[in-house]
Amino acid sequence: MIPIAKPYMNAEEAQRAYDTILSGWITQGPMVKAFEDKFAAYTGAVHAVAVSNCTTALHLAMIVAGIGEGDEVICPSMSYIATANSIKYVNAIPVFAEVNEHYNLDVEDVKKRITPKTKAILLVHQIGMPADIDAFKDLCKEKNLLLIEDAACGIGSAYKGAKIGSHSDLVCFSFHPRKIVTTGDGGMITTNNAAFAERLRLLRQHGMSVNDRERHLSKKIVFEEHVEVGYNYRMTDIQASVGIAQMDKLDEIIGGRRAIADIYLKELKDIAGIRLPHEADGYFTNWQSFSIYIKPECKVSRNELMELLLEDGISSRRGIMTSHREKAYEYMSPVSLPVSEDLCDRSIIIPLYYPMEQSDVYKVIEAIKKFVG
């Protein structure tokens, strides 16, 4: 069976984790700091704050942005449910907006959904494809709104020559095993705002005024204070040590993924029954996922194609979910999002990972040609 995704890890990650375990410091310590510094340097952000996963990153971003009860935050429904959930965590209201055919928020639709209660826009870089950051920054400036980026899939992608993570004051990343780099699980928040960074570090560790690393390195007795109600959203040093090894391979991984995506784009472009993703000028995607849209006139349905691929030994996944159609959000007023629903219902994600055997890449291609025709 060809898997949909597979992390690229080997002896380097194992050795770094082994060394960290033997060091005796396995919770939030020097490796976390080193990982944060490496991540900030790579993305071009001033600060990077490591946390337990991307959902907790989004939650803390909402808090430091001052979003609270009754505030509205506009976000895509077409995203993993954690995007909307992070807004609910602070008792704010997710306002679901439409996406374009490239899976990212439609700025014109977002404009229609702004109300006096709107406090922020949560912009998602779906499947690793950068959204139009400048359009949303301009809109936020015009309407006095905050811009928060959900870059769970976006590490290594770039917009107009600058890496995702450097454009806004709150950008949240994921290190889940299906992402480009992984720490088993984990997250990161990048920011250029020193006050945000300071409070994020406070909140991730129970609101404690002095972190463990600083207390351990101090030559004097240090008594910490808990200055506000915080959370246990820490990353371990074991995870961070793995993350450092993964960052060393990041450009190699992305280069390999882009080479595979180029083959898919070249070999599948003439199939009339499907539509392929498009990387616009000025955009650089890490190809975290490769999503194919099955046109209504295609001779097989999306579900039929998935079944046929499975029988042929090829994994696939349905299109990105739409949160407004999940039971968790049934309580909200119905919202019309025809583009999001159509993309969700007619798209499949096909295998793409590094290193992927060329024979497997072409097996996927030949199967799609055979079944779609």
Q: How many independent structural domains does the chain possess? A: 2
- 319 Cβ contact list (under 8 Å, min separation 6): 291, 302, 343, 344, 345, 346, 347, 348, 349
Domain C-terminal end among 191, 215, 249: 249
In this predicted model, what pLDDT tens digit does every residue of 121-178 receive, in sequence order? 999 999 999 999 999 999 999 999 999 999 999 999 999 999 999 999 999 999 999 9
One domain for residues 262 and 118: no
Q: Average pLDDT of 63-77?
A: 98
Q: Tell whether 229 and 335 lie within a shared domain.
A: no
Assess whether 133 and 266 both reside in one domain: no
| Spatial CA neighbour of 356 closest among 243, 253, 286, 278 | 253
Residue 5 is assigned to a structural domain of this protein:
no
Residue with tokens 């007619």: 346
In the predicted model, is pLDDT for residue 220 greater than 80?
Answer: no
- Kindly tell me if the per-residue pLDDT of 212 is higher than 90: no
Instruction: To the nearest 10°, report the CA torsion of 86, 90, 91, 93.
Output: -50
Angstrom distance (rounded) from CA 153 to CA 18: 28
Question: Same structural domain for residues 271 and 317?
Answer: yes
Do residues 176 and 260 share a domain? Answer: no
Domain assignment present for residue 2? The answer is no
- The pLDDT mean for the chain works out to 95
CATH of the domain at 237: 3.40.640.10
Q: Is there a catalytic annotation at residue 143?
A: no
How many CB atoms neighbour CB 45 within 10 A? Answer: 26
Q: Last residue of a domain, which of 194, 221, 249?
A: 249
Span 113-125, average pLDDT:
98
Would you say residue 3 lies in a domain?
no
* pTM for the predicted model, two decimal places: 0.95
Tell me: do 107 and 218 sit in the same domain.
yes
- Domain membership flag for residue 178: yes
Spatial CB neighbours of 218, under 8 Å, sequence gap ≥ 6: none
Same domain flag for 256 and 239: no
Q: Is the per-residue pLDDT at 213 higher than 70? A: no
368 and 222 in one domain?
no
Ramachandran region of residue 104, left (φ > 0), alpha (ψ -120 to 50) or beta? beta
Q: Span 204-226, mean pLDDT?
A: 73
What is the model's pLDDT at position 222?
A: 66
Q: Could you tell me if residue 1 is inside a domain?
A: no
User: Do residues 172 and 205 both lie within one domain?
Assistant: yes
In this structure, the answer to whether residues 263 and 215 fall within a common structural domain is: no
Is the per-residue pLDDT at 335 higher than 70? yes
pLDDT at residue 221, as a whole number:
72
Label residue 312 exposed, middle or buried (CB < 10 Å: 0-12, 13-18, 19+): middle
Q: Which residues of 3-34 are buried (b: 16+ CB within 10 A; e: fewer)?
A: ebbebbbeeebeebbeebeeeebbebbbbbbe
Which residues neighbour 293 within 8 Å (Cβ) at sequence distance 6 or greater? Answer: 101, 274, 275, 276, 343, 346, 347
227 band by pLDDT with thresholds 50, 70 and 90: confident
Q: CB of 87 within 8 A of CB of 94?
A: yes
Tokens of 8: 């690229």
Tell me, yes or no, whether 224 and 282 share the same domain: no
The whole-number pLDDT of residue 146 equals 97
Same domain for 207 and 257? no
Among 179, 266, 269, 299, the one annotated catalytic: 179
Would you tell me how many other CB atoms lie within 10 Å of the CB of residue 209?
A: 15
**What pairs with residue 171 in β-bridges?**
149, 190
Per DSSP, the three-state class of 187 is strand
- Split at pLDDT 50, 70, 90, the class of 286 is very high
Q: What is the DSSP letter of 94?
A: E
pLDDT at 199 over 70: yes
Expressed as residue numbers, the domain containing 260 is 251-372
Best-predicted range by mean pLDDT (15-29, 38-52, 226-240): 38-52
Which residue among 214, 249, 284 closes a domain?
Answer: 249
